[in-house]
A and B are shown apart, each in its own frame.
Chain A
Amino acid sequence: MSTLQLWGQYLPQFLAGLVVSLQLTGAALVLALALGTLLVLARTGRIRILAAIATGYVEVFRAVPVLVLLFTAYYSLAQLGLRLPGFWAGVVALGAFYGTLYGEDMRSGLQSVDPGQREAAVALGLSNGAVMRRVVLPQAFLAFLPPGTNELSNLIKDTSLVLTIGVTDLMFQANAAAAATFQPMDMFLLAGVVYFAFYILLSRILARWELNVQRRRS
Chain B
Amino acid sequence: MHVVALYWQAIVDGGGVDLELTAIAVAVSVVVGILAAVGRIYGGKLLGGAITVYVEIIRGLPPILQLFIIYFGLSQFQINLSSFSAGLLWLVLYGVGYAVEIFRAGIEAVSVGQREAADALGLTRVQALRKIILPQAWMVMLPSLMTFLVLQVKNTTLLYLVGIADIMYQARLGTSATEQPAIMYGMAAIAYLIINLTLSRIGSTLERRQALYR
Contacts and interface: CB of A to CB of B under 8 A. Distances in A.
Given A67-B157, A192-B65, A76 B60 contact: no
A214 interface: no
A93 to B, nearest CB: 11
A110 to B, nearest CB: 20
A185 B70 CA distance: 9
Contacts of B111: none
Contacts of B64: 160-161, 163, 171
A60 B62 contact: no
B74 interface: yes
A124 interface: no
Contacts of A161: 64
A47 interface: no
B196 A63 contact: yes
Interface stretch (B23-31, B123-131, B182-190): B182-190
A69 B171 CA distance: 13
Contact of B158 (A63, A67, A185): A67
A68 B180 contact: no
Contact of B61 (A157, A159, A164): A157
Contacts, number: 108
Contact of B60 (A66, A163, A189, A196): A196
Contacts of A175: 68
A142 B16 CA distance: 43
B143 interface: no
A64 B65 contact: no
A151 interface: no
Contact of B192 (A59, A65, A160, A196): A65
A192 B69 contact: yes
Contact of B180 (A79, A158, A200): A79
B168 A68 contact: yes
Interface in B171-201: 171, 175, 179-182, 185-186, 188-189, 192-193, 196-197, 200
Contacts of A111: none
A45 B161 CA distance: 43
Contact of B181 (A76, A160, A171, A192): A76
Interface string B63-89: 111001100111111000000000000
A137 interface: no
Contacts of A199: 60-61
B65 A171 contact: yes
Given A160-B63, A199-B61, 20 more contacts: A59-B197, A63-B193, A64-B193, A64-B196, A65-B153, A65-B154, A68-B157, A68-B185, A71-B188, A76-B186, A78-B181, A157-B63, A171-B62, A183-B76, A184-B76, A188-B69, A188-B73, A195-B61, A196-B60, A200-B60
Interface of B: 57, 59-65, 68-69, 72-77, 150, 153-154, 157-158, 161, 168, 171, 175, 179-182, 185-186, 188-189, 192-193, 196-197, 200
